[in-house]
Amino acid sequence: MSAMSPAPRRRASLVDSPLLDVEKIRQDFPILRREVRGKPLVYLDSAATSQKPQAVIDALVRYYTTENSNVHRGIHLLSEEATQEYEGARTKVQAFLNASSPQEIVFVRGTTEGINLVAGSYGRQNLREGDEIIISAMEHHSNIVPWQILCQEKGARLRVIPMNDSGELLLEEYERMLGPRTRLVAVVHVSNSLGTINPVEEIIRLAHRQGVPVLIDGAQAAPHLPLDVRKLDCDFYVFSGHKILGPTGIGVLYGKASLLDSMPPYQGGGDMIKSVTFEKTVYNDIPYRFEAGTPHIAGAIGLGAAIDYLSAIGLDRVAAYEHQLLEYGTERLSQIRGLRIIGTAREKAAVLSFVLDGIHPHDIGTVLDSEGIAIRTGHHCTQPVMARFGIPATARASLAFYNTKQEIDVLVRGIDKVFEVFS
Ligand code: 7TS
C-alpha cells in the first residue's frame, strides 16, 4: 500500500475493548435483540437479575426434553442421568468457588434462603442471650432481617459497622466491635445499591483472630469477581444463580464442611434423612441434610451451564472489562449537572446509583423506560443505606459484561431527556 493510500476504515465496533469480544458475546443473549417501546433494549438492571445466554436456556430445554426425572431415588436410567447432571452441577459450583469438596455446596433457592438457612440452623444452635452478631450498614434486607428474627428469638443483639460518605466501611469501628460476645459476622461482598467492594479478606481475618465465623453475602460479587473461598477463608458464602446468568429459584450456600457437619437440619422432609421411624429420624450427611424435598433439578443444571459459560470467558476478564465500563460511566455521569452519584468508594463494581436534583427516581425510571432503557429505581432493598444518605431512593444502572460504552451513551442521552421533560 502506498503512503498516499487512505488508511483502511475499521468497522465501527460496539466496544473498543481488547478485553472481550462483546459483539460476539451479545449474540449469545437472545433477549438483547428485542426492542422495548420501539427502541433497542438497553438492559442496565443486571444487579436485579442478569440476562441468560442461549447455552443456559438450551440446558433447561434439554433437561426437560430428554432427562426429566427425580434425583437420588429412581433406579431407572433417566433418574440416574438426572442425578449425574445435578451432582455434576454441584461439582461445577465447587470448582467455581474453589471449595474443598462438593459436600460443602448446598443448593438453595437463592441468597436469601442461604442466609436464612445459616441463621435458622447455625444461628439457632449457637446463639445465647446477650450474644452479638455483626453486620454492616450496607446490607441488603436479606442479610438484616434473618439476623433480626434470630436476635429477637434469642435475646441477642445486632451490631452494625458504619460507613463513610463514600460508602466505605469503617474498619476501625468494626475492630472495636469485635469482642467476646460476638458469635458471627455477616457482611456483603459487593453492595447492590452502592457498588462498594468490601475488603472481606481483612474483615474475615479480623473476625478469625477472635475465633468468630464469617458469612459473606456474595449475591453481587459472584457475577463480577473471581472467587476463591479457600483463599478468603470465609466460613459461609452465599449467592443466587439468577444473578450469574442462571435460572431463578436456585442458589448456593457454601459452608466449610466442619461447620455444616455440626449444624442441625433447617427443614425436614425427603432427601435429608437416612432413616425414619416414628421414634427417631437419622439425618443424612451434608450437603443432603440441608436439601429437603425435591430440589430445583433443572435450576441446578442451568446454573452449571451458566458457570461453564462464565468460566469460559473468565471472571478476571469480565471484572477488567466491567471496570472499564464503570470508569467510563462514572466519568460520563459525573459531567451531568444536577446529577449526584451515590456510592463513590475507591473499590467499586458494576453499579451506578444516582439522584437528580428535584426529580424523583421513579420519574427518572419512567422516562428512561420510554427510551428502552431498563434501570431500577427505589431503595433496592437497602432502606438503611437510603437513610444513611438522607434520600428516599436512587436510580440505579447496573452493568454486566454484555453492556457497552454505547449503551452508557444512550443512558446519558436518556438522562438529558429526563431533564427536558421535568424542567
Ligand atoms: N444480597 C444482595 C447483596 C443482593 O443484591 C440481593 C438481591 C440479595 C441479597 C437477595 O437475593 P435473592 O436472589 O435471594 O433475592 N438484590 C437485588 C437488587 O439489587 N435488585 O433486585 C434484587
pLDDT value, residue 73 = 79
Backbone angles phi, psi at 399, to 5 degrees: -105, 155
Q: Which residue is listed with cell 458504619?
A: 162
Grid cell listed for 72: 437420588
pLDDT value, residue 110 = 98
CA of 377 to the centre of ligand 1 (A): 14
Catalytic residue list contains 381: yes
pLDDT value, residue 270 = 87
- Across-strand partners of 45? 398
Tell me which of 381, 382, 396, 399 to substitute to probe ligand 1's pocket, judged by most ligand atoms within 8 Å of the beta carbon.
381
Tell me which of 109, 111, 224, 353 to substitute to probe ligand 1's pocket, judged by most ligand atoms within 8 Å of the beta carbon.
111
Grid cell listed for 352: 451506578
CA-to-CA separations, 313 to 105, 174, 306, 396, in angstroms, rounded = 23, 36, 11, 26
- CATH placement of domain 57-312: 3.40.640.10
CA of 242 to the centre of ligand 1 (A): 10
Domain 12-45+314-422, CATH homologous superfamily name and number: Aspartate Aminotransferase, domain 1 (3.90.1150.10)
**Cβ(188) – ligand 1 distance below 6 Å:** yes
The verdict on whether omega for the bond into residue 287 sits within 30 degrees of 0, i.e. cis, is yes
If DSSP codes are grouped into helix, strand and coil, which group holds residue 85?
helix
H/E stretch holding 254 reads: strand 251-255
pLDDT value, residue 14 = 43
Strands 182-188 and 214-217, how do they pair?
A: parallel
CA of 423 to the centre of ligand 1 (A): 34
**Cβ(145) – ligand 1 distance below 6 Å:** no
Q: Is 328 exposed, middle or buried (0-12, 13-18, 19+ CB in 10 A)?
A: middle
pLDDT value, residue 17 = 62
CA of 3 to the centre of ligand 1 (A): 57
**Cβ(109) – ligand 1 distance below 6 Å:** no
CA of 252 to the centre of ligand 1 (A): 13
Give the position, in ligand 1's atom list, of the atom nearest the Cα of 111. 14
Neighbouring CB atoms inside 10 A of 201's CB total 12
* Cα–Cα dist 219/319, whole Å: 15
If DSSP codes are grouped into helix, strand and coil, which group holds residue 274?
strand
**What's this model's pTM, rounded to 2 decimal places?**
0.95
H/E stretch holding 136 reads: strand 132-136
Task: Decide if 169 contacts 139 (C-beta within 8 A).
Answer: no
**Cβ(110) – ligand 1 distance below 6 Å:** yes
Tell me the pLDDT of the chain (423 aa) as tens digits.
334 444 444 444 444 467 899 999 999 999 999 999 999 999 999 999 999 999 999 999 999 999 999 998 778 999 999 999 999 999 999 999 999 999 999 999 999 999 999 999 999 999 999 999 999 999 999 999 999 999 999 999 999 999 999 999 999 999 999 999 999 999 999 999 999 999 999 999 999 999 999 999 999 999 999 999 999 999 999 999 999 999 999 999 999 999 999 999 999 998 899 999 999 999 999 999 999 999 999 999 999 999 999 999 999 999 999 999 999 999 999 999 999 999 999 999 999 999 999 999 999 999 999 999 999 999 999 999 999 999 999 999 999 999 999 999 999 999 999 999 998
pLDDT value, residue 74 = 78
For atom 15 of ligand 1, the residue with the nearest CA is 112
pLDDT value, residue 296 = 98
Strands 42-43 and 236-240, how do they pair?
A: unpaired
Write down the domain spans for the chain.
12-45+314-422, 57-312
Grid cell listed for 224: 463480577
pLDDT value, residue 217 = 99
Instruction: Name the active-site residue from 381, 386, 391, 412.
Output: 381
Q: What is the DSSP string of 178-245?
A: --TTEEEEEEESB-TTT-BB--HHHHHHHHHHTT--EEEE-TTTTTTS---HHHHT-SEEEEEGGGTT
pLDDT value, residue 293 = 96
Task: Tell me which residue of 225, 231, 230, 152 sits closest to 188, measured CA to CA.
Answer: 225
Task: Decide if 183 contacts 206 (C-beta within 8 A).
Answer: no
Backbone angles phi, psi at 331, to 5 degrees: -65, -45
